[in-house]
């Protein structure tokens, strides 16, 4: 768990702002350099590992393009805490291993505050102001997906187990 | 136990006799639709890494529409890769013949009761056919292609009832913009939106598709319309088999989370101001708003019915001087039908420029992207800042009637006076 800074945004941050259409054919590093530039031109060049996005309602509304979540992950963002998420973005974030939590955030956190996101404990520690914000816990299987690093490593584990089980069965038949 | 249409479909797909809202279940998918942008180029590396093939190639449909026609090298490479993958995997493939959400049903792939995922946020379009269809990202799609299954939290059903009939000059797009304005972009709470009422029942399938499609703009997971004789007739004509539609009706006593009742007869043409579909208001809220570009395109605004409506305005009229009218018919079939009916000739005579059957500038792809400070009125689904071009461009959303009327007037205009007076002599 790394201490980072809070980047605070409002409601309705959409996927076109997170992953602008004109860079969709480009590698994720190129796309990530333009992440949120329409809202905050300094974001991509200042955000770094351990930083946390704190936002309002309906974060990630719009497209199914998961580059919206991947760009944030590529920039080192530790997670997102929002009042609510758009459904597809929420699924995408978890699938690429980016922690996302809903919470009634607001008053006790400001842009630039030193914060630490505790995924397992489902809380956001504010080191600048003191205090801890409780986050709505994720269902166990979604937390497992995040802990595995996303859907692909999770499925790798699953397929490896299936193959191992099949091998054991085959050997026991011999 | 009484169940909604959404619950019945999910129960069947998850192998249960019944499901309740809030339960998380694993469902088998009946069909997976992917396109060139989020499809092969994104899913194949994951399938390779997992060391698996497709769960069932007969249940996968691939459609190229986002990078079509391949305006630059990167786009052409993506299209080439898409074609190679389609040939290698031997999946159903529609290459450059239109937008996925329009092509999938027009080729008979959808039927009531199906549980379907699409690699695009506007996949709720399938709900118009009584299928539970929703959009997912590329990684999740790769998981579906590998396993044939996906988790779903059984949604509540939000019933949206439109009583009465729409007036002339009012379209499904007006219904949706009004709903976005009223309920907000997260009014659907990622639950199942279901449309009902006389106004909905009287609509043809292409208009219903616009309603289901834009359940995405309401933040719903899907947008269902219970199948009826109109649905069955469309599916048969498309070469599909509708099955027994009586199986796929919600029970009258099923629990509904929200029930909104609206009056179709009172609905005015709607326009959504930049930069959100939720900024919708009656068309007369925008007096003297000049436009530079009018765009009739996208899955929600350039199907045959949309072209036909725009042509009713444009017949015998010209696009205002200084205004560019761009028309990108949503599918080749719809364009061919429009050409046969004289509609494409109307566009040409009015001074419109016709673009490829693809997503085009709706999603910021292609050469026609909006430049700095351009004001556009568009029949598309979304007007997020910078989506269709420069961040300084401004996009107003409206029905094809209103977009065409605005192209003629050179400013945002109510289409009804033009419809009432007919074409100039």
SS3 B74: helix
SS3 B375: strand
* Residue B423 pLDDT > 70: no
Answer whether B49 sits within 8 Å of A96, measured CB to CB. Answer: no
Assess contact for B271 and B397: CB atoms under 8 A. Answer: yes
Assess contact for B408 and B322: CB atoms under 8 A. Answer: no
Indicate the residue of A26, A61, A152 with minimum beta-carbon distance to B219.
Answer: A61
Q: Which residues of A fall below an 8 Å CB-CB distance to B?
A: 12, 14-17, 20-22, 24-26, 37-38, 57-58, 61-66, 69, 84, 86-88, 90-92, 95-96, 139, 141, 150-152, 155-156, 159
Mean pLDDT of chain B: 97
Instruction: List the single best residue of A38, A58, A64, A66 to mutate versus B (max B Cβ within 10 A).
Output: A64
Q: For residue B160, give the DSSP letter.
A: E
Q: How far apart are CA B175 and CA B191, in angstroms?
A: 19
Interior CA angle at A77 toward A74 and A83, to 5°? Answer: 130
Answer whether A150 sits within 8 Å of B139, measured CB to CB. Answer: yes
User: Could you write out the DSSP letters of every residue in B107-127?
Assistant: TT---TT-EEEESSTTGGGGG
- Distance to chain A for B257, nearest Cα, Å: 18
- Give residue B258's region: left, alpha or beta (phi > 0; psi -120 to 50): beta
The pLDDT tens digits for A118-157 are: 999 999 999 999 999 999 999 999 999 999 999 999 999 9
Q: How far apart are CA B39 and CA B41, in angstroms?
A: 6
Tell me, what's the pLDDT at A1? 81
Answer whether B385 sits within 8 Å of A17, measured CB to CB. Answer: yes
B410 touching A (Cβ < 8 Å): no
Element (H, E) at B208: helix B205-213
- Residues of chain A in contact with residue B371, where contact means CB-CB under 8 angstroms, are none
The pLDDT tens digits for B166-188 are: 999 999 999 999 999 999 999 99
Burial class (CB in 10 A: 0-12, 13-18, 19+), B425: exposed
What's the average model confidence in pLDDT over A3-8? 97
Omega before B275 within 30 of 0, i.e. cis: yes
What's the average model confidence in pLDDT over B14-37? 97
Answer whether B139 sits within 8 Å of A95, measured CB to CB. Answer: yes
Q: How far apart are CA B149 and CA B27, in angstroms?
A: 5
The pLDDT tens digits for B270-314 are: 999 999 999 999 999 999 999 999 999 999 999 999 999 999 999
Q: How far apart are CA B292 and CA A54, in angstroms?
A: 37
SS3 B131: coil
Q: Which residue has the tokens 């401004």?
A: B394
Tell me, what's the pLDDT at B424? 57
Omega before B264 within 30 of 0, i.e. cis: no
Indicate the residue of A22, A26, A141 with minimum beta-carbon distance to B364.
Answer: A22
φ and ψ at B72, to 5 degrees? -140, 180
pLDDT band at A12 (very low <50, low <70, confident <90, very high): very high
CA Rg value for chain A? 18
pLDDT band at B425 (very low <50, low <70, confident <90, very high): very low
Assess contact for A2 and A49: CB atoms under 8 A. Answer: yes
Indicate the residue of B38, B140, B151 with minimum beta-carbon distance to A65.
Answer: B38
Q: How far apart are CA B14 and CA B207, in angstroms?
A: 30
Q: How far apart are CA B7 and CA B116, in angstroms?
A: 14
Tell me, what's the pLDDT at B337? 98
Answer whether B382 sits within 8 Å of A16, measured CB to CB. Answer: yes
Tell me, what's the pLDDT at B288? 96
Angle between helices A140-148 and A151-173 (to 10 degrees): 90
The pLDDT tens digits for B52-111 are: 999 999 999 999 999 999 999 999 999 999 999 999 999 999 999 999 999 999 999 999
SS3 A125: strand
Report pTM: 0.96
Q: Which residue has the tokens 């009484």?
A: B2
* Total count of residues recorded for chain B: 425
* Residue A107 pLDDT > 70: no
Sheet of strand B324-327: strand arrangement: B280-282, B270-272, B394-398, B375-378, B293-296, B324-327, B353-354
- The CA–CA distances, whole Å, from A38 to A78, B86, B114 equal 22, 36, 39
Indicate the residue of A15, A16, A95 with minimum beta-carbon distance to B140.
Answer: A95
Answer whether A64 sits within 8 Å of B119, measured CB to CB. Answer: yes
Answer whether A152 sits within 8 Å of B391, measured CB to CB. Answer: no
B140 touching A (Cβ < 8 Å): yes
* B270 beta partners: B282
CA Rg value for chain B? 21
SS3 B253: coil
CB pairs under 8 A between A and B: 116
pLDDT band at A22 (very low <50, low <70, confident <90, very high): confident
Burial class (CB in 10 A: 0-12, 13-18, 19+), A148: middle
The pLDDT tens digits for B216-258 are: 999 999 999 999 999 999 999 999 999 999 999 999 999 999 9
Q: How far apart are CA B421 and CA B313, in angstroms?
A: 10
- CB-CB neighbours of A140 under 10 Å: 8
In B33-52, the residues whose Cβ lies within 8 Å of chain A are: 37-38, 46, 49-52
Tell me, what's the pLDDT at A172? 84
Burial class (CB in 10 A: 0-12, 13-18, 19+), A170: exposed
- Here the tokens at position B27 are 């469902």
């Amino acid at each position: 768990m790394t201490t980072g800074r809070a980047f605070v945004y409002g409601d309705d941050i959409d996927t076109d702002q997170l992953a602008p259409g004109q860079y969709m054919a480009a590698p994720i590093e190129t796309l990530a350099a333009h992440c949120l530039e329409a809202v905050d031109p300094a974001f991509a060049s200042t955000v770094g590992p351990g930083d946390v996005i704190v936002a309002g309602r309906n974060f990630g509304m719009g497209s199914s393009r998961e580059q919206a979540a991947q760009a944030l992950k590529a920039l080192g963002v530790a997670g997102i805490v929002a009042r609510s998420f758009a459904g597809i973005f929420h699924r995408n974030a978890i699938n690429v291993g980016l922690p996302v939590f809903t919470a009634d955030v607001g008053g006790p956190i400001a842009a630039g505050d030193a914060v630490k996101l505790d995924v397992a404990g489902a809380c956001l520690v504010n080191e600048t102001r003191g205090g801890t914000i409780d986050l709505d816990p994720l269902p166990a299987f979604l937390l497992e997906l995040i802990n595995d690093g996303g859907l692909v490593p999770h499925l790798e584990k699953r397929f490896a187990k299936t193959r191992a089980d099949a091998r054991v069965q085959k050997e026991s038949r011999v | 136990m009484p169940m909604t249409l959404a619950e019945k479909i999910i129960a069947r797909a998850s192998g249960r006799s019944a499901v309740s809202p809030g339960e998380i279940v694993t469902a088998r998918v009946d069909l997976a639709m992917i396109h060139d942008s989020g499809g092969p180029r994104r899913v194949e590396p994951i399938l390779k890494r997992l060391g698996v093939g497709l769960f069932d190639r007969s249940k996968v449909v691939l459609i190229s529409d986002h990078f079509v026609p391949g305006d630059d090298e990167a786009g052409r490479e993506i299209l080439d890769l898409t074609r190679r993958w389609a040939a290698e995997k031997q999946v159903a493939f529609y290459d450059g013949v239109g937008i996925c959400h329009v092509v999938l049903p027009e080729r008979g792939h959808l039927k009531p009761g199906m549980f379907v995922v699409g690699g695009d946020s506007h996949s709720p379009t399938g709900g118009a056919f009584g299928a539970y269809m929703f959009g997912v990202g590329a990684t999740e799609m790769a998981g579906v292609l590998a396993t044939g299954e996906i988790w779903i939290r059984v949604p509540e059903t939000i019933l949206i009832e439109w009583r009465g009939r729409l007036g002339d000059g009012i379209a499904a797009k007006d219904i949706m913009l009004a709903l976005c304005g009223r309920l907000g972009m997260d009014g659907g709470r990622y639950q199942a939106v279901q449309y009902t009422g006389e106004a909905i029942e009287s609509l043809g399938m292409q208009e219903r598709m616009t309603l289901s499609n834009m359940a995405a703009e309401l933040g719903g997971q899907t947008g269902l319309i219970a199948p009826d004789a109109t649905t069955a007739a469309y599916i048969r004509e498309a070469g599909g088999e509708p099955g027994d539609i009586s199986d796929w009706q919600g029970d009258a006593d099923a629990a509904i989370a929200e029930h909104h009742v609206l009056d179709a007869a009172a609905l005015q043409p709607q326009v959504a101001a930049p930069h959100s579909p939720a900024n919708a208001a009656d068309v007369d809220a925008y007096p003297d708003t000049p436009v530079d570009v009018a765009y009739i395109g996208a899955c929600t605004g350039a199907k045959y019915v949309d072209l036909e409506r725009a042509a009713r305005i444009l017949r015998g009229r010209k696009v205002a001087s200084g205004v560019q009218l761009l028309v990108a018919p949503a599918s080749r079939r719809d364009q061919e039908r429009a050409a046969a009916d004289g509609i494409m000739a109307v566009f040409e005579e009015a001074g419109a420029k016709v673009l490829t059957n693809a997503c085009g500038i709706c999603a910021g792809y292609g050469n026609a992207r909006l430049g700095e400070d351009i004001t556009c009125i568009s029949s598309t689904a979304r007007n997020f800042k910078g989506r269709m071009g420069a961040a300084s461009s401004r996009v107003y959303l409206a029905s094809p009637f209103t977009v065409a009327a605005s192209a003629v007037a050179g400013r945002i205009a109510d289409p009804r006076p033009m419809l009432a007076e007919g074409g100039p002599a």
